[in-house]
A and B are shown apart, each in its own frame.
Chain A
Amino acid sequence: MAITKDHIREKLIAELGAIHVDVEDTSPNRCATSFKVLVVSPQFEGKPLLQRHRMVNTCLATELKEIHAFEQKTLTPEQWEKQKQQ
């Protein structure tokens, strides 16, 4: 089964309590299944970058086995608000 943008988004919302998820399918730019995600979740609060990325990796562990390239950005709601204003 092919991995879809919606599948990734729904999983991150359900398992990481994400309040906002952007998923970009970057497969056409590369040679295989590739995604770029922005995840905004209050669960990232107070956690270092590495731990946040590990949370995303764990959430999508099954999918990552089939994804060739995966880019991620992890923000807290507060950081996201700040970024939107810039």
Chain B
Amino acid sequence: RWMCSSSSDEEVLKNLGQMVKKDKVVVFMKGTPAQPMCGFSNAVVQILRMHGVDQYTAYNVLDNQELRQGVKTFSNWPTIPQVFFNGEFVGGCDILLQMHQSGDLVEELDKLGIRS
């Protein structure tokens, strides 16, 4: 299992490359969609829910310190939550919120075949 504590940083990064492609929408957050442990992670969950995105892969970084650090390095982004569409880094909570407000999110989800 990749979560094993002996895995090197390199391995974590390699695994992340596969993890973000696992689903059309992948979120790294604090807590789970059912129980977010931070307001920013909760905001991402609520925005996705508002757009009818309920089937997505979420990873709880609080469960795994290596993942918490690794995802920051992987995407060169300093904070959690982090959202990926089709394996591409989209941004954090602020960006998702602004995309929601501008209407860009509907468009991006449409490209993924998800109807808001």
A interface list, Cβ under 8 A from B: 49-50, 53-54, 57, 61, 64-65, 69-73
Contact = CB atoms under 8 A, between A and B. Distances in A.
Contacts of A64: 78-79
14 contacts: A49-B91, A50-B90, A50-B91, A53-B91, A53-B92, A54-B76, A57-B77, A57-B78, A65-B78, A69-B40, A69-B79, A70-B78, A70-B79, A71-B94
Contacts of B76: 54
A61 B92 CA distance: 16
B79 A49 contact: no
Contacts of B92: 53
A18 B98 CA distance: 20
Q: Is the interface of B mostly helix, strand, loop or mixed?
A: mixed
Q: Which interface class (under 10, 10 to 19, 20 to 34, 35 or more) fits B?
A: 10 to 19
Interface of B: 40, 76-79, 89-95, 98-99
Contacts of A71: 93-94
A61 B78 contact: yes
Nearest to A71: B94
